[in-house]
Amino acid sequence: MPEPASTPETRRTSRGRLAAAFQKPSRRQLVVAGLLAVLGFGMVTQMRSYEVNDTYAGYRQQDLIDVLNGLAGTTQRAETELARLEETRSRLQSDTSAEQAATEQARTEIDSLEVLAGVVPVTGPGIRITITEETGPVDIDSLLDTVQEMRTAFAEAMQINGQVRIVASTSFEDGVGGIYVDGTLLEPPYVIDVIGDPATLSGGMVFPEGPIEQLENDGAEVVVEELQSLDIEAVAEPDRTEFAQPGSGS
Amino acid sequence: MIAALGLLVGILLGLIFQPDVPPSLEVYLPIAVVAALDAVLGGLRAYLDGIFDDKVFVVSFLSNVFIAAAIVYLGDLLGVGGQLTTGVIVVLGIRIFSNVAAIRRHLFHA
């Protein structure tokens, strides 16, 4: 519909029509202006509400259901993951406790092996054998028999003269004015400290043709004291074995 | 001139009052805005073609907005509101593009 106020020249081109509309506003433009105002108003309102609205309030029902479904799936996955991790944790915990038990057992074993190997000082009840030479030197065999009898009577640790720990590999050798025990010259009187059950140990000394009789035949005086507490301070140096290797154990 | 002023006034009113969209209309407002935009561009094209009629413009504006909102409302009732919104937006987008192309040809002869 041509503008009534337009001249024929301006009406011919579309650009001219636009320019004419700007130059000569008509009353009909008011309607268009009203609708455009509605459009601008709606546009700005929507932009603002979209900016402000970051909750789920603007979602339609189906979208909300989808969101809910997604969350349910995520929850389920998370719970599965949680269960898996908890299982792993309990497995690791039981592993740890089993390992601790094994460590504890190994430590106990180490303690008893250390006592047997004589590498640590020990204390406990036992007997003290004092051998004093009276009329003649003590025969090394008698001394060895004494040690052997103590081992038979479940002696757990032994030392002689407070200097040498008697262990599985301890050697006895005759020397000038005494005996060499593990290469250390010991002179009489010999004092042997033995840790074990005192009654059993002293019983192992006194039987007929036992160590006491043998030692007295050598011309020595033997005194056996039963002690409730005895300290063995001497330790044996653990030797690295040169030839023996641990076997497979079966 | 007055039309451009109207658009400006509307934007200013929106900025000044900052109205809250009622929740029931929240879904339809964006669709209605896009539909109105299409109607306005169509009107501008018609004006440049020299066939503009304000009655046609008013009717097309209102019916565009109403039909777009009605389609989305129907889609919501049928449970395909989201998809229908997308469809309406696509159709209106295509129309906006073709209208703008015609306007561009008028104004720049290119």
* Distance, CA of A139 to CA of A151 (rounded, Å): 19
Name the closest residue on chain A to residue B30, using Cα atoms.
A46
Give the pLDDT of residue A132.
87
Q: Are residues A151 and A81 both part of a single domain?
A: no
Top residue of A11, A14, A51 to mutate, by most chain B CBs within 10 Å, is A14
Walk along chain B (110 residues) in steps of 10 and give the mean pLDDT of each run: 79 81 79 90 87 87 90 86 87 93 86
This model of the complex carries an ipTM of 0.80
Q: Please report residues of B whose CB lies closer than 8 A to that of A55.
A: none
User: What Cα–Cα distance (Å) separates residue B105 from each residue in A36, A99, A202, B46?
Assistant: 23, 84, 126, 13
In this predicted model, what pLDDT tens digit does every residue of A25-45 receive, in sequence order?
A: 677 778 888 888 888 888 888
Q: Are residues A109 and A131 both part of a single domain?
A: no
Q: Where are the domains of chain B?
A: 28-108
Count helices and strands in chain B by DSSP H and E runs: 4, 0
Q: Is the CB of B54 inside 8 Å of chain A's CB atoms?
A: yes
What tokens does B97 get?
Answer: 């593009």
Q: Are residues A127 and A228 both part of a single domain?
A: yes
Q: Which pLDDT band holds residue A117 (cuts at 50, 70, 90)?
A: confident
pLDDT reading at A11 higher than 70: no
Contact B6 A32 (CB under 8 A): yes
Average of per-residue pLDDT across A163-191: 85
* Distance, CA of B72 to CA of B84 (rounded, Å): 6
Q: Are residues A216 and A187 both part of a single domain?
A: yes
Contact B76 A21 (CB under 8 A): no
Query: Rounded to two decimals, what is the model's pTM?
Result: 0.48
Give the pLDDT of residue A81.
95
Q: Are residues A68 and A158 both part of a single domain?
A: no
Q: Please report residues of A whose CB lies closer than 8 A to that of B48.
A: 14, 17-18
Contact A61 B76 (CB under 8 A): yes
Give the pLDDT of residue B8.
83
Q: Are residues A105 and A153 both part of a single domain?
A: no
Q: How many CB atoms lie within 10 A of CB B36?
A: 23
Measured in angstroms, the CA of B22 and the nearest CA of chain A are apart by 10
Contact B50 A17 (CB under 8 A): yes
Instruction: Choose the closest CB to A18 out of B48, B57, B80.
Output: B48
Q: Cα A118 to the chain's mean position, in Å?
A: 28
* Distance, CA of A45 to CA of B11 (rounded, Å): 9
Q: What is the domain extent for residue A46?
A: 8-52
Q: Please report residues of A whose CB lies closer than 8 A to that of B19.
A: 45
Q: Are residues A113 and A127 both part of a single domain?
A: no
Q: Are A224 and A110 in contact, with CB atoms under 8 Å apart?
A: no
In this predicted model, what pLDDT tens digit does every residue of A205-227 receive, in sequence order?
A: 888 888 888 888 888 888 888 88
Q: Are residues A40 and A84 both part of a single domain?
A: no
Measured in angstroms, the CA of A67 and the nearest CA of chain B are apart by 13
Q: Are residues A13 and A32 both part of a single domain?
A: yes
Contact B1 A29 (CB under 8 A): yes
Q: Is the CB of B73 inside 8 Å of chain A's CB atoms?
A: no
3-class state of residue A43 by DSSP: helix
* Distance, CA of B84 to CA of B75 (rounded, Å): 6
Q: Are residues A102 and A137 both part of a single domain?
A: no
Into how many domains does chain A fold? 3
Measured in angstroms, the CA of B80 and the nearest CA of chain A are apart by 8
Give the pLDDT of residue A4.
47
- The more confident residue out of A208 and A52 is A208
